[in-house]
Amino acid sequence: MFAEIATASFNITEPRSADGARLFSCLVHDVLAFSMISRRLMFLLAVVWTCHAAPARAQLRIVSYNTGTGQVDGTQTARSGMDLVLSAIGAEVVGGIAKPIDVLMLQEQYTTSISTQSVVDVLNGIYGAGVYARSSLNAATSHPEGAGGGPALVYNTQTVELLGEQRSGSVNGSAQARSTMRYQLRPVGYDAAADFYVYNDHYKSDTGSENAARRLIEATNVRTNSDALGEGTHAIYAGDYNIQTSSEDMYQHLLSAGPGQAFDPINAPGSWHDNSSLRYTHTQSPATSSQYSGQTLGGMDDRFDFQLVTGEFLDGEGLDYIPGSYRAFGNDGTHACCNSPITSSGGASPAVLNALMTVSDHLPVVADYQLPAVMDVTLGSVPSMISVGAPIALDVMVQNIADVLVSNGADELDYTITVSGALTGGGLMDTAFALGGANTHQVFLDTSMAGFKSGLVTVSASSQGAANALWTLPVNWSVGGGTAVFTQVAGDDFDAPQNLISFSQSPAVDSGAYDNVNEGYGVFQVGSGAPIPSHLRDNSLNEPDSLGIVDVTTKSDAWFGVLNLKNDNNPTGEASATWQFDVSGASGLQVSIDMAAMGDFEAGGVTPDAFNWTYEFDDAGEQPLFTSSVDESATATYFLADGNPRTLADPLSMTPADGDAVELSNVFQTLTALLTGLGDVLTLRFSATGDGGEAYVFDNIVVEGLVSVALPADFDGDGDVDGADLAMWQSSYGVDDGGDADASGTTDAADLLLWQQGFTGSTATGAPVPEPAAILLATVAAMACVAAGRRRG
């Protein structure tokens, strides 16, 4: 006997593409011994599902560093000792956190391919080939030969993704000295809600009103750009500011009100130059004697290098600055002030301090940032046999699985559990902390009546930017026996639909929108109804034909075709169709559709070719089912019925909601998508746009799922097979069909065997299930006694 115990599915909000978006690995334990009827059934035949999100690397170590490698005639690559500095930054323990650099914002890069690549090579030499990569866009500079270099970026490919890079600002002798570089980044394992931006600038150097004015121009450009991103944007403003006091106009402009308002994480305003009380902020210069040509000297007396942040990094939620982690690396505030070398500090080992003095004329500025929570949800098991009225609880385990070194490396996970269907006990709210293990909650199964039941557990996170923030988990169970089978529950083959409540299409069949042999939208069939448009039919066996899908010599049943939707009667080129199916009592649903396409499809233009499907349960909101796409860089070869190849550009592909893209051809392929959710009415919607001879055809819409099947030996209809049913069989044996389990029309020994095989309850005495042979002998003997008594009378 089979009872569906707990099944899990989940919502993924990021596009399914090479970037991963959201990747999941689900482990199935204790799979019941049932044949795998379909891919969906593999999902459903599990006693326990544990679904775990791929790990996201929590905590980010972000660094801004002027390496002084932008000289035209001097050094343009990382100097000896850079490996010691960068590895020491990764090994430094602050607040319990020590980790390799995740984002490294560099200044004075002659070019990204020379200077920045040399830093990438150093890091990959420490941590392994391919771990680090760089930006590719070079900043513009006001110097005709690029002297001084521009900003650039290096990032850890295992922890962050570089989504975009942009340079901005007017660069000339009276405006910005170099481009502002903006980078859009996303932590690995998260979606767009965790995106952040870094602005990397190297402001005009030197004192004087003219230089200050040029710095203000650059700060104004930065704020104009970041303000345009809107409220709620996480942004870091890093770089070499070349200022001596917080009162300078450019600094105050960065701190001015607006969507991109900047804040100093350490809140250390003042005149930093030669200020012993602020010497812990100083970043220039680590050297007092020249270590290489062109090095700026003067000792540790200025705070030139910064990481300012928007307020979104300081609200304690989601992506956030970790208090106490901001530091000028190697500077613990103990160096002799002012104008002494960094080697007079105790902020690192002597070897590291010496390296800081010899590889650059600035100190790196380092800060650690917490990442959003990562939610993982696991359902417990349900008993394989549930008696009517039995109190059964289902465990729901919720965990914050952010991959952290310490608990404050990730945001807390605030979440809510709700239930629907035949489940109760929702409305639960709780918080899970990283490294804190799983919180266990209970919801309850309705066991008040016998039968096959289902419900939905929904766990939603409200924490800012949380990964895997929505889980929808179907649960199915059987009360009082019974079984479930995976079968077709609805469909439309355009000949004999099953459980179809309604169907509509626009334009309607009788609208007159399509009356040309080169256009059409609707149901077609050879020898019946309207003529089949030429590009929908493959007539190559009868006449010369170069385009076509349906072989008119072999396919005689009905199907749905789409061709050349835009004309004077339908100027938008849009069309749609809607099916509503009765799927009440079914769960674990999937939809399969046979599809084919042929033509030179267009991805853009005024009327692009698009053929998309969605689904919806009981007006609960549409979700994607199949989504089309066009590869305009590819070609495809099609074979018509005559066997000759036709090669066309720009083929059409279709991507199921839970799968990978499939390139369509003029031969029907069956595509299947799994559905998330439950309901009584399933609505499928098809929408299309097109303008031209590109053809799309579909047939055989099939909806499959689990449905309850009554037990054949449940003679009294109470949902189980027990002693009461045995008594009914005995009283009906040889008399009537009251114990007829095999629908033979009589109650006989074969029905007794089915009773034993389907036994779910207890006998009247609580004794073990008796063997059929013994029962049969006793029954026959009893009947013989009755007969003998009648004869004696």
| Alpha carbon of residue 260 to chain centroid | 28
Residue 765, pLDDT > 70, answer: no
Could you give the dihedral angle defined by the CA atoms of residues 148, 150, 151 and 157, in that order, rounded to the nearest 10 degrees? Answer: -110
User: What is the average per-residue pLDDT within 686-694?
Assistant: 92
φ, ψ of residue 30 in degrees (nearest 5): 55, 55
pLDDT, position 662: 95
Which residue did the predictor score with more confidence, 508 or 375?
375
Phi, psi values for residue 219, rounded to 5°? -65, -35
- Amino acid 766: pLDDT: 47
Q: What is the pLDDT of residues 131-150, one digit of tens each?
A: 999 999 999 998 876 667 89
Q: For the segment 374-396, what is each residue's pLDDT rounded down to a tens digit?
A: 999 999 988 766 888 889 999 99
User: Is 60 exceeded by the pLDDT of residue 11?
Assistant: no
Q: Are 176 and 229 in contact (CB under 8 A)?
A: no
CB 154 within 8 A of CB 104: yes
Q: Which amino acid, residue 232?
A: G
Would you tell me how many other CB atoms lie within 10 Å of the CB of residue 783? 14
Q: Which residue has the tokens 């769960």?
A: 587
User: pLDDT of 234-278, one tens digit each?
Assistant: 999 999 999 999 999 999 999 999 999 999 999 999 999 999 999
Q: Alpha-carbon distance 232 to 310, whole Å?
A: 9
Residue 780, pLDDT score: 57
Tell me the average pLDDT of the chain: 87
Among 414-418, 473-477, 689-693, 710-714, the range scoring the smallest mean pLDDT is 710-714
Fold of 67-367: Deoxyribonuclease I; Chain A (3.60.10)
Q: Using pLDDT thresholds of 50, 70 and 90, give the confidence band for residue 761.
A: low
Q: Which of 281-290, 350-359, 420-429, 743-752 has the lowest mean pLDDT?
A: 743-752
Listed ranges 5-9, 445-449, 734-738; the one with the highest mean pLDDT: 445-449
Question: Taking the C-alpha atoms of 710, 714, 717 and 723 in order, what is their torsion angle to the nearest 10 degrees?
Answer: -150
- Torsion, CA 735, CA 740, CA 742, CA 744, rounded to 10: 40
Residue-level pLDDT at 48: 35
Comparison of pLDDT for 246 and 450, the residue scoring more: 246
Residue 38 confidence (pLDDT) above 50: no
- Length of the chain as a residue count: 793
Residue whose tokens read 């004794």: 767
- Token duo for residue 576: 């749609």
**Amino acid sitting at position 553:** T
Is the pLDDT score of 58 beyond 70? no
Q: CATH classification of 24-56+375-481, choosing from 2.60.40.10, 3.40.50.720, 3.40.640.10, 1.10.287.70?
A: 2.60.40.10
Bridge-based pairing of strands 196-202 and 235-240 is parallel
Mean pLDDT of 296-314: 96
Question: pTM above the 0.85 mark?
Answer: no
Is pLDDT of 72 > 90? no
Q: Is residue 729 helix, strand or coil?
A: helix
Helices (H) and strands (E) in the chain, counts: 9, 40
* 213 has pLDDT over 80: yes
Domains of the chain, by residue range, sit at: 24-56+375-481, 67-367, 489-708, 712-792
* pLDDT for res 482: 60
Dihedral sign (CA 640, 642, 643, 647): negative
Instruction: Tell whether the model's pLDDT for residue 781 goes beyond 90.
Output: no
What was the pLDDT predicted at 527?
Answer: 84
Predicted confidence (pLDDT) at residue 791 exceeds the cutoff of 50: no
Pick from 246-250, 504-508, 584-588: least confident: 584-588
Res 383: pLDDT: 78
C-alpha span between 522 and 501 (Å, rounded)? 18
Backbone angles phi, psi at 307, to 5 degrees: -135, 100
Give yes or no for residue 577 having a pLDDT over 50. Answer: yes
Looking up tokens 């106490």 gives: 324
pLDDT, residue 242, reads: 97
pLDDT at 22 over 50: no
pLDDT of residue 16: 29
- Residue 257 CB neighbour total at 10 angstroms: 6
Read off the pLDDT band of 483 (50, 70, 90): low
**Is the pLDDT score of 42 beyond 90?**
no
Across the strands, what pairs with 528?
525
Strand partners, 315: none
pLDDT for position 719: 66
pLDDT tens track for 95-135: 999 999 999 999 999 999 999 999 999 999 999 999 999 99
- 162: pLDDT confidence band, cut at 50, 70 and 90? very high
697 strand-pairing partners: 561, 596
Q: Tell me if residue 171 falls in helix, strand or coil.
A: strand
Q: Report pLDDT for 772.
A: 62
Give the pLDDT score at 57: 46
Classify strands 60-69 and 103-109 as parallel, antiparallel or unpaired: parallel
CATH class of 489-708: mainly beta
β-pair partners for 271: 245
**Rounded CA separation 174/210 (Å):** 8
